[in-house]
Amino acid sequence: MQLSKSEEQLMEYIWQHEEIFMKDLLEILPEPKPAQTTIATLLKRMQEKGFVGYKTFGNSRQYYPIIKKDDYFSKHVNGMIQNFFGNSALQFASFFTANTNLSATELEDLKKMIDEQIKQQQQ
């Protein structure tokens, strides 16, 4: 299951803080701040989708992520590779390196990461 753009933005704050109350979310959200009812609706949907859980403290709920950020984005990227690049990570990498504005330094850093990954897999 996937998050909407608004849910993803809210989830970013939950991932950053690991545990957070709605009042704290409302304080840190940028202007223009959404209504408290909007945040409550988004949190309810995210809970129903299995992305967040909560602990109850009196009348307040402390929200926490159920899905790790890396797991969510890994699944998201893998779905994109499957849907747009015929399930070929090589085609995705080719597209990514050719169609983004990576500097020579960034490409060198990417090459180093790939070389490290190759070393790890060969061991």
> Domains of the chain (ranges plus CATH)?
5-65 (1.10.10.10), 69-122 (no CATH)
Give the amino acid at 68.
K
64 vs 89, higher pLDDT: 64
Closest residue by Cα to residue 49 from 28, 75, 24, 31: 75
**For residue 35, what pLDDT is reported?**
92
pLDDT in tens, 28-52: 998 998 899 999 999 999 999 999 9
pLDDT in tens, 60-74: 999 999 999 999 988
Q: What are phi and psi of 53, to 5 degrees?
A: -125, 180
- Give the sign of the dihedral formed by CA 22, CA 5, CA 73, CA 66: positive
**For residue 12, what pLDDT is reported?**
95
